[in-house]
Amino acid sequence: MADENKDSLFGDFGKMPNFDFTTLMKDFKLPGVDLATIMDREKKNIEALTEANRIAFEGWQALVHRQAEILQESIKQAVGTMQGEDAGTKRMDLAAHAFQTALSNMRELAEMAAKSQKEAFDIIRKRVEENLAVLSPPGSAD
């Protein structure tokens, strides 16, 4: 009930208006400012950030999925080893094998994370380079 009253009191005040900034600014012609170019550049910046976020998200999703697989494999292996052999005589071998497997799995997960981060960073780096190229006057030495 209170929420209904709040909505009726404020109406659409809390909602973000839907307007096109380019349309709003076309009447304000500023000398030497190409609004279409600026808007296009900002659109490309947003697209690059969106793509980088997508890649990072997919990378972390794959990482979490792989972690779950590793955990399941480790549990199955530990249970199988403990049931199939004398636990007292093989305890040290099991611990050494588990440690080596954990190191290998940690390395794999770190490589997956690094790859995902590099791919996302490369998209942002490329976009920054494109922005800097636009700002550099033609024929200038970098």
| Per-residue pLDDT tens digits for 2-49 | 454 445 444 554 455 566 666 656 666 666 767 778 888 889 999 999
| pLDDT grade for 122, boundaries at 50, 70 and 90 | very high
Tell me how many domains the chain contains. 1
Q: Has residue 106 been placed in a domain? A: yes
Which residues have a Cβ under 8 Å from the Cβ of 109 and sit 6 or more positions away? 63, 66, 67, 70
Q: Has residue 25 been placed in a domain? A: no
pTM of the model as a whole = 0.55
Q: Has residue 19 been placed in a domain? A: no
- Residue ranges making up the domain that contains 101: 46-134
**Mean pLDDT score of the chain:** 76
Q: Has residue 141 been placed in a domain? A: no
Q: Has residue 11 been placed in a domain? A: no
Q: Has residue 26 been placed in a domain? A: no
Q: Which residue is listed with tokens 């611990």? A: 95
Q: How far apart are CA 85 and CA 55, in angstroms?
A: 44
Q: Has residue 32 been placed in a domain? A: no
Q: Has residue 2 been placed in a domain? A: no
Q: How far apart are CA 116 and CA 95, in angstroms?
A: 31
